[in-house]
């Protein structure tokens, strides 16, 4: 049935009385939307209804459906949807009977036609609510990656963001910029800063972000991410507060927000390295404002409280383990910290209290033998069967945490994640032994701080071979693999490493050797000797377009400029910027020894000094070249600035020389 309008009646050839009767039937009603469901929505009374007060949640109810009738609904509120419900027992399209609402967008209208009693049909002009929508695969949103922010920043030339998700991977300097598209109501743009410096995000010209004036930017710190939602045609909003609602009582919320700074400073809230899982509670200041006093661990205070001494935990010292061991008569532990000072015989025992979720007990073995720690009767430790013990070696300490009412857990695996790349993890864990043996890993007495590196075994498993120490040597060392008549094999090792960075090369345009260098003693190089060198430095300060050239040399005089010698690596003059890195490594083989000795070599280097992680590698070949092995040979790296400007400065951070 087609909806009948007043214009249709007035244009008809019906007599005046009939037209008047029909016009009375076609009533235009104004109805204010109400409620939030079919139970409390406003009722429609006319065949044509102008609805006000819609806000996305409020609704109206159609009259009881009679076949061949129609109702026209006009949502007069721009930008706010209107929910239209059927009468009790009725249905719209295939929506749920009685409660299934049809959505009419703001400034839109819809005509509902009753095709059978209690059933309304509507097409177009609105949006059907989907009860359940199941996607077979994740939705792929429009995204752009490897975006480079505009260097030097600003709005005018800022890199335009065109995707819904935008990963900015290059932000070389704080303030480098990107720009949002022109705001359109409902538009959502997410920006991730994967660069090295703070990223400035500008709106399109004339637009604004949050309550800032038009054309002003917001900053995203490195590794940070922000979502911008357009609330109208000129304004984007971001989440300015981090809000966490009370989980059960719905009373109170935690709000974390930034305050204006005198300058564009980034304030970072992070955690120190913790030795345990910890919950830090904000104390009640007793008023509307307060200053947080953080203790270790956190302590709730009323107002401001100063701690003049370390916090003292419940503790018991001078505990004697039960001789002969076992669970039944084991010494009961009653403190949060328990120092067992007498453990005369291996397996003398102590016993944890009955497990209570959240309880923490620390046990220190200061005795003379291995200590057995039992759970309370019926409880268990880790994945062991109930009532079995774990051992703490002499001078060892274990912390037990109750994860429920019957189970204690300890740290069975020491986990050390990679600190920067997040690739790889170092795990240290015990394996089951055939008998109750304690395997101890310790260090010999060292004469210096030392880093021991576990080599890659080239497979899923490997066995460590640990040398007692590195030996200094004069000349070359050989080994016969333990057989007196065996073939001698060349050994060698570290000849030099710089213990500190070099002095800066600055305010000079003359080629200058860094003062971290190594002089190979006379007669060290023999036929077959392998010389390995690796270096790395950084341009700490740069002036305008001045350039920096780097060279690795052998046999030069220690002067400025250096005289003679052979250049092994030559990194060409480059217009560097602050913190650009240069690096290279080279290997030499001595072919023949003596005053007329010869050597060949090959190396690689970072072809253009640049930021860390942006290396382009080139090789450098040394054909057969003369070398006097009977004389000392200076191995050094030089730097040459194009201008003697005090704003130019570089240093050598790393130099290592090996002789094999």
Residue 265 has pLDDT above 80, yes or no: no
CATH topology of domain 6-128: Jelly Rolls (2.60.120)
pLDDT tens profile 164-183: 899 999 999 999 999 999 99
Q: How confident is the model at residue 556 (pLDDT cuts 50, 70, 90)?
A: confident
Pairing of strands 337-342, 315-320: parallel
Give the residue-averaged pLDDT of 36-43. Answer: 93
CB 200 within 8 A of CB 163: no
Q: Name the segment(s) of the chain with CATH classification 2.60.120.640.
A: 143-237
Please tell me the predicted confidence (pLDDT) of residue 19: 58
CB 603 within 8 A of CB 586: yes
Residue 470 has pLDDT above 70, yes or no: no
Q: How confident is the model at residue 444 (pLDDT cuts 50, 70, 90)?
A: confident
For the chain, percent of residues with pLDDT exceeding 90: 56
pLDDT tens profile 530-550: 999 999 999 999 999 999 999
pLDDT tens profile 56-79: 899 999 999 888 888 999 998 887
Please tell me the predicted confidence (pLDDT) of residue 17: 61
What SS3 state is found at 22?
helix
Give the HSE-up count for residue 551: Cα atoms under 13 Å, Cβ half-sphere.
Answer: 21
Choosing among 2.102.10.10, 3.40.50.720, 3.40.50.300, 2.60.120.640, the CATH entry for 143-237 is 2.60.120.640
Continuous segment of H or E residues that includes residue 49: strand 48-52
Please tell me the predicted confidence (pLDDT) of residue 125: 47
Burial of residue 372, with CB atoms counted within 10 A of its CB: 0-12 exposed, 13-18 middle, 19 or more buried? buried
Residue 8 has pLDDT above 70, yes or no: no
Choosing among 1.10.3470, 2.60.40, 3.40.50, 2.60.120, the CATH entry for 495-659 is 2.60.120
Q: Rounded CA gap, 351 and 251, in Å?
A: 42
Domain 315-409 class, CATH top level: mainly beta
Q: Rounded CA gap, 543 and 292, in Å?
A: 44
More confident residue, 329 or 8: 329
Please tell me the predicted confidence (pLDDT) of residue 595: 93
Please tell me the predicted confidence (pLDDT) of residue 474: 43
Residue 1 has pLDDT above 50, yes or no: no
Kindly list the distances between the CA atom of residue 607 and the CA atoms of 267, 399, 549, 637, 656, in Å, as whole numbers in the listed order: 37, 52, 11, 15, 20
Please tell me the predicted confidence (pLDDT) of residue 281: 76
CB 47 within 8 A of CB 27: yes
More confident residue, 186 or 352: 352
Phi, psi of 20 (to 5 degrees): -65, -40
What does the mean pLDDT of the chain come to?
Answer: 84
Residue 582 has pLDDT above 80, yes or no: yes
Lowest mean pLDDT of 177-191, 281-295, 361-375, 439-453, name the range: 281-295
Residue 520 has pLDDT above 80, yes or no: yes
**Number of DSSP helices (H) and strands (E) in the chain, helices first:** 2, 49
Residue 293 has pLDDT above 60, yes or no: no
Please tell me the predicted confidence (pLDDT) of residue 294: 52
Give the residue-averaged pLDDT of 624-649. Answer: 94
Please tell me the predicted confidence (pLDDT) of residue 25: 55
Give the residue-averaged pLDDT of 306-320. Answer: 75
Please tell me the predicted confidence (pLDDT) of residue 4: 52
Give the residue-averaged pLDDT of 427-448. Answer: 76
More confident residue, 366 or 274: 366
Q: Where are the alpha helices (DSSP H) in 385-534?
A: none
Residue 432 has pLDDT above 80, yes or no: no
Burial of residue 516, with CB atoms counted within 10 A of its CB: 0-12 exposed, 13-18 middle, 19 or more buried? buried
Q: Rounded CA gap, 541 and 544, in Å?
A: 10
Q: Rounded CA gap, 257 and 243, in Å?
A: 9
């Amino acid at each position: 049935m087609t909806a009948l309008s007043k214009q249709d009646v007035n244009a008809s050839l019906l007599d005046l009385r009939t037209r008047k009767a029909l016009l009375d039937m076609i009533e235009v009603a104004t109805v204010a939307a109400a409620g939030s469901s079919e139970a409390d929505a406003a009722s429609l009374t006319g065949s044509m209804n102008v609805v006000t007060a819609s806000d996305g949640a409020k609704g109206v109810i159609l009259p009881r459906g009679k076949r061949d009738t129609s109702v026209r609904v006009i949502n007069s509120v721009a930008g706010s949807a209107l929910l239209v419900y059927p009468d009790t027992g009725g249905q719209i399209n295939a929506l749920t009977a009685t409660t299934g609402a049809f959505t009419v967008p703001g400034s839109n209208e819809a005509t509902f036609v009753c095709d059978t009693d209690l059933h309304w049909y509507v097409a177009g002009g609105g949006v059907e609510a989907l009860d359940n929508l199941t996607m077979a695969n994740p939705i792929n949103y429009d995204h752009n990656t490897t975006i480079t922010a505009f260097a030097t920043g600003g709005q005018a030339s800022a890199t335009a963001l065109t995707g819904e998700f935008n990963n900015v991977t290059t932000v070389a300097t704080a303030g480098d910029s990107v720009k949002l598209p022109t705001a359109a109501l409902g538009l959502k743009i997410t920006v991730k800063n994967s660069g090295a410096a703070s990223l400035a995000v500008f709106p399109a010209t004339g637009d604004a972000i949050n309550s800032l004036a038009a054309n002003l930017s917001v900053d995203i710190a490195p590794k940070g991410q922000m979502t911008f939602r357009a609330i109208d045609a000129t304004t984007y909003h971001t989440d300015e507060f981090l809000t966490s609602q009370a989980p059960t009582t719905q009373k109170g919320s935690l709000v974390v927000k930034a305050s204006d700074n005198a300058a564009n400073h980034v304030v970072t809230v992070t955690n120190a390295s913790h030795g345990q899982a910890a919950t830090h509670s904000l104390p009640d200041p007793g008023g509307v404002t307060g200053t947080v006093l953080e203790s270790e661990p956190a302590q709730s205070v009323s107002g401001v409280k100063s701690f003049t001494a370390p916090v003292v935990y419940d503790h018991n010292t001078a505990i004697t383990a039960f001789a002969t061991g076992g669970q039944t008569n084991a010494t009961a532990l009653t403190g949060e910290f328990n120092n067992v000072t007498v453990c005369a015989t291996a397996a003398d025992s102590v016993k944890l209290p009955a497990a209570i979720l959240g309880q923490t007990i620390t046990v220190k073995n200061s005795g003379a033998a291995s200590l057995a720690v039992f759970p309370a009767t019926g409880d268990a430790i880790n994945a062991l069967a109930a009532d079995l013990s774990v051992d703490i070696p002499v001078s060892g300490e274990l912390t037990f945490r109750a994860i429920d009412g019957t189970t204690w857990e300890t740290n069975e695996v020491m986990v050390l994640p990679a600190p920067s790349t997040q690739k790889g993890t170092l795990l240290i864990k015990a394996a089951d032994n055939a008998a109750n043996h304690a395997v101890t890993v310790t260090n010999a007495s060292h004469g210096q701080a030392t880093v021991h590196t576990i080599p890659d075994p080239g497979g899923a498993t490997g066995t460590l071979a640990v040398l007692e120490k590195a030996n200094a040597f004069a000349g070359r060392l050989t080994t016969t693999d333990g057989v007196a008549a065996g073939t001698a094999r060349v050994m060698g090792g570290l000849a030099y490493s710089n213990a500190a960075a070099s002095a800066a090369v600055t305010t000079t345009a003359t080629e200058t050797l860094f003062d971290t260098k190594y002089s190979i003693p006379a007669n060290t190089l023999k036929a077959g000797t392998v010389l390995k060198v690796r270096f790395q430095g950084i341009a700490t300060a740069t002036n305008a377009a001045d350039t920096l050239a780097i060279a690795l040399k052998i046999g030069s005089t220690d002067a400025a400029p250096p005289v003679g010698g052979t250049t092994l690596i030559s990194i060409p003059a480059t217009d560097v910027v602050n913190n650009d890195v240069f690096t290279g490594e080279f290997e030499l083989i001595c072919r023949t020894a003596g005053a007329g000795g010869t050597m060949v070599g090959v190396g690689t280097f970072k072809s253009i000094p640049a930021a860390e992680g942006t290396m382009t590698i080139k090789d450098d070949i040394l054909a057969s070249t003369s070398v006097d092995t009977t004389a000392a040979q200076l191995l050094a790296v030089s730097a040459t600035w194009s201008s003697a400007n005090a704003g130019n400065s570089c240093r050598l951070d790393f130099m290592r020389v090996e002789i094999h």
